[in-house]
Structure 1
């Protein structure tokens, strides 16, 4: 049995606990009973998670004798839309939920982003509990208060900042993840290490085989450390006015690639982040910041972890730099005709390179995509 651990978020606007362990909801039955007593409860999940893990969730909370209302969405980025958001809000209205009731986001990043936004809008804020079921959502998207849906070619362009009351990162929910989905989450873990903590990076290198084998102790440490790093930066810069932008390392190029491939199964979010990490690291090297040895180590580790390091692994034809740039121009870090990029001075030393011209980025992409 893995010992339960907790990471706290304490900012100017909010505070809450993030629990990490096994069968957390069952172990926290008493606390949940007090929290949810006499409240309506809504659970939103996608059809895949419902089929694989919903019975696990209900078994863990069986002693509470609750009768939750259930809303199912289709898995995938297409559900982060105005249409699905409206359906969730209308559903809550029809059930006569009020601000004191609770909505539980039970799923990966798509469910978490969508339902956090719905929670922030409904009655101007209903109670939210996050129960993330993917590695990606446990180490990143369920924590920090960002909510979002996509709008056309602009990923995560519609959203708010709204924090959950509690987050339960239960590693038992990771057991049914496919290898591909598991590794997508690992890209976000590696991002944290590259930007903030060389010691954590070295731990990941030393334990790559155990990580691939999903060793529980290693996995618990990876989740805890990632959340510690993220919670620290969120406490400093809750609404991303400055240093929190460092968490977007790999995402500026990655989001552009996701949109290029139309949010399809051809390129999942974590795979796009992996490619984005390589692009950002290569740009850092070309700018004279990151040494060749460090760049080579980053690519090598991503390859060992079965994550893509070249676009040709996704599409065996040349991508259009101009088309990719046009998608990148939807990024929130765009300033006029320039963009702020998250780069590396060294492993564990991320920084913000401000006002990089799109012409410079396009020339770089032309070289990378040839």
Structure 2
């Protein structure tokens, strides 16, 4: 088991990464809590695969548990299911010293974390992420929330987990498409701040996708290290943390345009967004023309979506996509902020991006 520490003073916590962690969940949670009962929030697909293993792992340490099983899918990250989750937890008489366990991907982690942040003005929660995307990104750093009709993650709070258990064995139950969606976030870390990690991924990415456990642990660990480092410097996204949104300004507009559904998974949008961000950076003279080519070549080699044309169905016009970006949380005083790059591993945040340059990149990328 590898451990990454997130050093946030009295809100510090560990991320444990390894195999068979569901079976050890009781033992590991015991290190932070002596409570005899835990509430689990999960979703239907994950519950079928992993809920019993988690409950057995808790029972091995004398911890009773009850579970709320919600529908799978991005639609669950919404007011009705937030209300259902909070009311269920209150009916279970969850107290401030209790811990709520989020067992699932990013949707369940974000929703459960937001419920934990807001009920009784904050109860503790444990993240047990079951997707690659959640293990490397959404389970770490304390961003919680739900979607609004106006955009993604617009209702939420910063609420750090007390523990994260990233069991890489559960990744073996993911579909190839979902796994590669999570890989979009893994690649992002190399692109934003670690050229050596991106090089490592160019060599080891196929092994990772094929199920190599050592490669998976190494990739999750490095991603978590990078995220922890940035979160420690800038917990509430006043500066450096915005770097983690590389590709996301494009991504969130594309997700809104495709209805937050199966047409475009979040990590697929991130991958396309990263390719567009490097293309925009190159056209603005910030990085060489080879960099966007290299990014696209690696994503294509992994069998991922790379271009706007890879998204099924019709998309809005370039102008409409830029308008959708205006709902992004990174807008400051009406000014869009982009994460651009001076090269692979060297990203930065800027508001100094001409609208026309963004429109041109989008127009060139949209199917004619």
Partners of 1:233 and 1:68 in 2: how far apart?
Answer: 34
Relative to 1, partners in 2 of residues 1:316 and 1:149: Cα closer, same or farther, differing over 3 Å? closer
Please name the residue that 1:190 is paired with: 187
* Cα distance in structure 1, aligned partners of 2:10 and 2:355: 36
Within 5 Å, give how 1:200-349 maps onto structure 2: 200-315=197-312, 317=314, 319-349=316-346
Check whether the contact 1:114–1:148 (CA below 8 A) recurs between aligned residues. Answer: yes
Aligned length: 367
* 2:144 aligned partner: 147
**Which 4+ residue blocks in structure 1 deviate beyond 4 angstroms?**
none
Aligned-pair CA distance for 1:366: 2.2
C-alpha offsets along residues 239-284 of structure 1, whole Å, 9 cap, x if unaligned?
A: 1000110000011100110110001111111111111111111101
Q: Is the 8 A contact 2:280 2:357 kept in 1?
A: no
Going from structure 1 to structure 2, the CA distance change for 1:317 and 1:84 (only over 3 Å counts) comes to closer
Q: Does 1:44 align with 2:63?
A: no
Task: Note the C-alpha offset of 1:53.
Answer: 1.4
Q: 3-state SS of the aligned residue for 1:106?
A: strand
In structure 2, the residue matched to 1:16 is 13
SS in 2 for 1:44: strand
Instruction: Tell me which residue corresponds to 1:199.
Output: 196
CA distance 1:290–1:131, shift in 2 (3 Å): same
Deviation per CA, 1:349-368, whole angstroms, max 9, x where unpaired?
01112243444423432233
Q: What is the root-mean-square deviation in Å for CA atoms of aligned residues?
A: 1.6
Offset of residue 318 of structure 1:
5.6
1:126 maps to 2:111:
no
Q: Does 1:162 align with 2:123?
A: no
Give deviations 1:216-238, integer Å, cap 9, x for gaps.
00110000000111100100001
Aligned partners of 1:339 and 1:357 also within 8 Å:
no
- What CA distance in whole angstroms lies between the structure 2 residues aligned with 1:103 and 1:196? 33
Q: Does the residue aligned with 1:24 lie in a helix, a strand or coil?
A: coil
Q: CA separation in 2, counterparts of 1:99 and 1:106?
A: 20
Return the TM-score normalized by structure 2.
Answer: 0.95
Shift of 1:163: 0.5
- Structure 1 length-normalised TM: 0.95
C-alpha offsets along residues 7-51 of structure 1, whole Å, 9 cap, x if unaligned?
000125520000011112434644434645444311001101011
Could you tell me how far apart the structure 1 residues matched to 2:35 and 2:164 are?
21
Distance change in 2, residues 1:238/1:38 (3 Å): closer
Give distance in 2, aligned partners of 1:127 and 1:335. Answer: 31
How far apart are the structure 2 equivalents of 1:128 and 1:226?
21
Any idea what SS the aligned residue of 2:143 has? coil
Distance 2:264 2:247 in 1: 14
Deviates more, 1:57-66 or 1:77-86: 57-66
